[in-house]
Amino acid sequence: MPPSEALQHHSSCSALRSHLEAKYLEGKYRHYHPLFGNQKELDKVLCASVTTTDLAETQALLGCGAGVNCFTGGPEAPTPVALAEQEGQTLQMEFLQNNRTTEVPRLDLMKPLEKHYSVVLPTVSHSDFLYKTTSTAKLLQERCGQEEFSRCWYVLSDGVLSYYENERAVTPNGEIWASKIVYLAVSPPDTHGFEHTFEVYTEGERLYLFGQESADLAREWVKCIAKAFVPPLAEDLLAWDFEWLGRLPYKACLSLQRAQEGWFSLTGSELHAIFPEGPCKEPLQLRKLQELSVQGDSKNQVLVLVERRTLYIQGEQRLDFAGWLGSIQKAGASLVDTLSEQQLGDSDIPVIVYRCVDYITQCGLTSEGISRKSGQTSKTQQLLESLRQDARSVRLKEGEQHVDNLSSALKRFLRDLPDGLFTGAQRLFRLEASEIEDEEEKVSRYRGLLVHLPTVNQATVKALISHLYCDQCFSDMNQMNTHNLAIVFGLTLFQTDGQDYKAGHVVEDLINHYVVVLSVDEEELRKQREESLPLQRCVSSSCVSSPPPSDEQQFCEQPIPTRGAAAAHPSPRSSSPAQPAPVQGTQPHTACTCPMSSSRVSDPSEEKQPRVQHTPVQKAATRAAHSCPKSSSRTSSPSSIRRAAAT
Which region, left, alpha or beta, applies to residue 406 given φ > 0 means left and ψ of -120 to 50 means alpha?
alpha
Whole-number pLDDT of residue 550: 38
Q: What is the largest CA-CA distance in the chain?
A: 117
The torsion angle over the Cα atoms of residues 357, 358, 363 and 366, rounded to 10 degrees, is: 50
**491 half-sphere exposure, CB direction, 13 A CA radius:** 22
Alpha carbons 393 and 390: distance in angstroms, whole number: 6
**Minimal CA–CA distance to 330: which of 276, 287, 365?**
287
On the question of pLDDT at 201 being above 50, the answer is: yes
In Å, how far from its chain's centre is CA 461?
22
Q: Can you tell me whether residue 337 is helix, strand or coil?
A: coil
Opening angle at CA 505, ends 499 and 510, nearest 5: 140
| Window from 164-173, 295-304, 467-476 with minimum mean pLDDT | 295-304
Say how far apart CA 253 and CA 263 lie, in whole Å: 17
CB atoms within 10 A of CB 40: 10
Please give the average per-residue pLDDT across 419-436, as a whole number: 73
Give residue 200's pLDDT: 92
Burial of 111 (0-12, 13-18, 19+ CB in 10 A): exposed
Query: What are the C-alpha distances in Å from 283 to residues 240, 265, 513?
Result: 12, 10, 38
CA dist., res. 60 & res. 64, Å (int): 6
Is pLDDT above 90 for 435?
no
Write down the pLDDT at residue 348: 83
d(CA 104, CA 300): 41
Look at residue 534 and tell me whether its pLDDT is greater than 50.
Answer: yes
What is the tens place of the pLDDT at every residue in 225-270? 999 898 888 888 888 888 899 888 888 765 666 777 888 899 888 8
Do the strands 181-186 and 244-252 form a parallel or antiparallel pair, or are they unpaired?
A: antiparallel
| pLDDT value at residue 148 | 87
Give Cα separations from 602 to 292, 355, 392, 641 (angstroms): 13, 11, 10, 33
Mean pLDDT over residues 113-127, rounded?
A: 51
**122-136, 231-245, 361-375, 632-646 — which is least confidently predicted?**
632-646
The mean pLDDT value for 550-579 works out to 38
Note whether 494 and 426 are within 8 A (CB): yes
Delineate the domains of the chain, giving CATH numbers in brackets.
26-107 (no CATH), 126-229 (2.30.29.30), 238-331 (2.30.29.30), 351-363+401-605+614-628 (1.10.555.10)
Q: In this predicted model, what pLDDT tens digit does every residue of 122-155 receive, in sequence order?
A: 556 788 899 998 888 777 778 888 888 999 999 9
292 vs 105, higher pLDDT: 292
Residue 392: other Cβ atoms inside 10 A: 25
Q: Which amino acid is at 347?
A: S
Q: Is the pLDDT of residue 586 over 50?
A: no
Q: Report if pTM > 0.85.
A: no
More confident site: 427 or 48: 48
Cα–Cα distance, 316 to 274 (Å, whole number) = 17
- 10 Å CB burial of residue 502 (0-12, 13-18, 19+) is middle
Between the alpha carbon of residue 202 and those of residues 121, 177, 207, 316, 320, the distances in Å are: 21, 9, 7, 10, 9
- Residue 21: pLDDT band by 50, 70, 90 thresholds? confident
Q: How confident is the model at residue 506 (pLDDT cuts 50, 70, 90)?
A: confident
Binning pLDDT at 50, 70 and 90, where does residue 563 land?
A: very low
- What confidence score (pLDDT) does residue 197 get? 92
Residue-level pLDDT at 199: 92
pLDDT tens readout for residues 166-177: 888 888 888 999
Percent of the chain clearing pLDDT 70 (strictly above): 72
CA-nearest of 510, 494, 488 to 577 is 488
Q: How far is CA 548 from CA 123, 544, 602, in A?
A: 80, 8, 34
User: What is the torsional sign of CA 451, 453, 457, 460?
Assistant: negative
Among 508, 381, 324, CA closest to 433: 508
Tell me the residue type at 152: C
Distance of CA 308 to the CA centre of its chain: 12
Using CA atoms, how far residue 486 sits from 414, 498, 576, in Å, is 14, 12, 11
3-state secondary structure 529-580: HHHHHHHHHHHHHHHCCCCCCCHHHHHHHCCCCCHHHHHHCCCCCCCCCCCC
Q: Does 598 have pLDDT greater than 60?
A: no
According to DSSP, residue 281 is labeled S
Enumerate residues 6+ apart whose C-beta is below 8 A from 495.
415, 420
CB atoms within 10 A of CB 641: 27
Mean pLDDT score of the chain, rounded to an integer?
74
The answer to whether residues 211 and 132 touch, using CB atoms and an 8 Å cutoff, is yes
Long-range contacts of 192-201 (CB under 8 A, 24+ apart): 192/140, 192/143, 192/144, 192/145, 193/143, 193/144, 193/145, 193/146, 193/147, 193/148, 193/149, 194/131, 194/146, 194/149, 198/222, 199/140, 199/323, 200/176, 200/225, 201/246, 201/319, 201/320, 201/323
Provide the pLDDT for residue 334. Answer: 67
The band of 529, judged by pLDDT with boundaries at 50, 70 and 90, is low
Do 236 and 200 touch, CB atoms closer than 8 A? no
Contact, 250 vs 313, CB < 8 A?
yes
Residue 89 has pLDDT above 90, yes or no: yes
Residue 357 CB neighbours (<10 A)? 25
| 223-227, 291-295, 576-580: least confidently modelled range | 576-580
Q: CA 637, CA 75: separation in Å to the nearest integer? A: 108
**How far are the Cα atoms of 65, 138, 150, 248, 271 from residue 264, in angstroms, in the given order?**
34, 21, 31, 7, 7
CB atoms within 10 A of CB 295: 10
Name which residue leads in pLDDT, 316 or 359. 359
pLDDT digit string, tens, across residues 485-498: 888 888 788 877 76
State how far the Cα of 262 lies from the Cα of 483, in Å rounded to an integer.
Answer: 56
In SS3 terms, 429-473 reads as: HHHHHHHCCCHHHHHHHHHHHHHCCCHHHHHHHHHHHHHHHHHHH
Nearest-angstrom CA–CA distance, 620 and 625: 9
- What are the residue ranges of helices labelled H in 125-214? none
| Mean pLDDT, rounded, for 608-636 | 45
Name the residue with higher pLDDT: 280 or 451. Answer: 451
| Inter-residue contact 616 to 597 (CB < 8 Å) | yes
